[in-house]
Structure 1
Amino acid sequence: MGLMEIKNRIKDEAVRVGRAPESVQLIAVSKVQPDERVEAVLSEGHRVFGENRVQEAAGKWPAFKEKFDGVELHLIGPLQTNKARQAMDLFDVIHTVDRLKLAKAIARLAEEMGHCPRLFIQVNTGEEPQKAGVSPAEADEFIQECRDLGLPIEGLMCIPPADEEPSLHFALLKKIAVRNGLEGLSMGMSGDFETAIAQGATHVRVGSAIFGERDYH
């Protein structure tokens, strides 16, 4: 499908629902993609990328950042507390703050390091036991706890259950964000990003539709 087609579809959907196309940021999800595919997308001028794992990102992005100016890196996978320092050095935005222990670690490190990435709180809208994220019922309290720690919370993130209508989950995430005065909504992937834009997504996370199918072997 490719980068330009995805950008055009984002623009068309934003216009269709009466939004400015630039109000939606495309995060190109480059996890487990070969370096040459990532470099091709960088060469096309795209600069905002998402990675799932700190180790994998650490292995490939410092070199790309030297070669290409203005790269913005988003962590969209779960973050272990013991990797928080490395993540805060590497990533500009972390989408997966999901528990108080991690929030406290980030707050402590931010004070020590003198900087903090922009942060999103992950909400487990489907309340799936295998998925990270705070439950919708606990979200308001957790947002407040993060704010009390002085963390720069920009928005919320969710990954809807694969077998459910995503728009219900996107609407729920937006409702929680609005009542907590949060602007950012990180939601929507290759299969449902247009639905997410219609529901107010500010960040969509698209991988295989840009890079091609992942080869996990």
Structure 2
Amino acid sequence: MSHIADNLLAVQARIARAAQTAERTPDSIRLLAVSKTFPAEDVRAAFTAGQCAFGENYVQESLSKIEALADLRARIEWHFIGPLQSNKTRPVAEHFDWVHSVDRLKIAQRLSEQRPDALPPLNVCLQINVSGEASKSGVAPADAPALARAIGALPKLRLRGLMSIPEPAGDLEAQREPHRILRALFDALVAEGVALDTMSMGMSGDLEAAVMEGATIVRIGTAVFGKRDYAH
């Protein structure tokens, strides 16, 4: 599994270079290793190499992984980053530390109601549909302020910030544009008094563009674990 350790070093170097270009400190950007479709042993290898935060998209797959890595639970931070259906909120509320993909009040309410009292508040981000496509998950930017205020009032949740998954784009400037939209919305919400500290944006192909536009969490899968085989 040494390739995972090598890949992590390469990604961290990319983050550092992008941060330098953006005149930011590298430690202002967290690497979230997206482990969906990869086995628990790959997560363990990444953890052994120093990575502690992992992102998962599929509830059942992630629960199996969390169970297999129960000995590391106190030291691993699990982030749910995929679409979340209302009938799957309970296990996410019970087993995850973060949810990046909240896009409607019903989901937030269920997560709040189902979060165990013994656990700290669940960190959540609003998923924003920066492209405006009907087929894309996420709340429209115009609807985000009202949803943010409603979620911020819920017990057992802590609203941390915004997340987006823009369409792939070819060059750096095209990649920066959707991240710029998310940054403008983030700044507007903060100016209105919404306490946010997180912008979850940027993946393996557009990490640099996201860092330049202020990402605080970059969600990197392929560049850490390799090409995914969705057949498994």
Summarize the alignment of residues 51-62 of structure 1 with structure 2, pairs less than 5 Å apart: 51-62=56-67
- The corresponding residue for 1:71 is 76
Distance 2:92 2:65 in 1: 14
- Provide Cα deviations, 1:7-59, integer angstroms capped at 9, x if missing partner: 11101211221111111000000000133332221221211110001111101
Distance 2:146 2:73 in 1: 40
When normalised by structure 2's length, the TM-score is 0.87
Which of these residues, 21, 46, 54, is aligned with residue 49 of structure 1? Answer: 54
Distance 1:86 1:128 in 2: 29
Say if 1:199 and 1:212 are closer, same or farther in 2 by CA, change over 3 A.
same
- The corresponding residue for 2:160 is 154
Contact 1:27 1:205 in 2 (8 A): yes
Q: CA deviation at 1:69?
A: 5.0
5+ long unaligned stretches in structure 1: none
Which of these residues, 179, 190, 198, is aligned with residue 184 of structure 1? Answer: 198
Summarize the alignment of residues 103-122 of structure 1 with structure 2, pairs less than 5 Å apart: 103-110=108-115, 115-122=120-127
- The corresponding residue for 1:2 is 7
**SS where residue 62 of structure 1 aligns?**
helix
Greater shift after overlay, 58-67 or 93-102?
A: 58-67
**SS where residue 180 of structure 1 aligns?**
helix
Distance 1:113 1:130 in 2: 37
Which of these residues, 174, 182, 187, is aligned with residue 183 of structure 2? Answer: 174
Summarize the alignment of residues 11-160 of structure 1 with structure 2, pairs less than 5 Å apart: 11-67=16-72, 69-110=74-115, 115-150=120-155, 151-160=157-166
- Amino acid across the alignment from 2:178: H
Distance 1:65 1:10 in 2: 30
Distance 1:148 1:37 in 2: 38
5+ long unaligned stretches in structure 2: 1-5, 191-195
Q: Identity of aligned pairs, percent?
A: 39
- Amino acid across the alignment from 2:67: P
Contact 1:128 1:161 in 2 (8 A): no
- Provide Cα deviations, 1:149-185, integer angstroms capped at 9, x if missing partner: 3441100000002357231111111111111122210
When normalised by structure 1's length, the TM-score is 0.93
Are positions 1:213 and 2:219 aligned together?
no
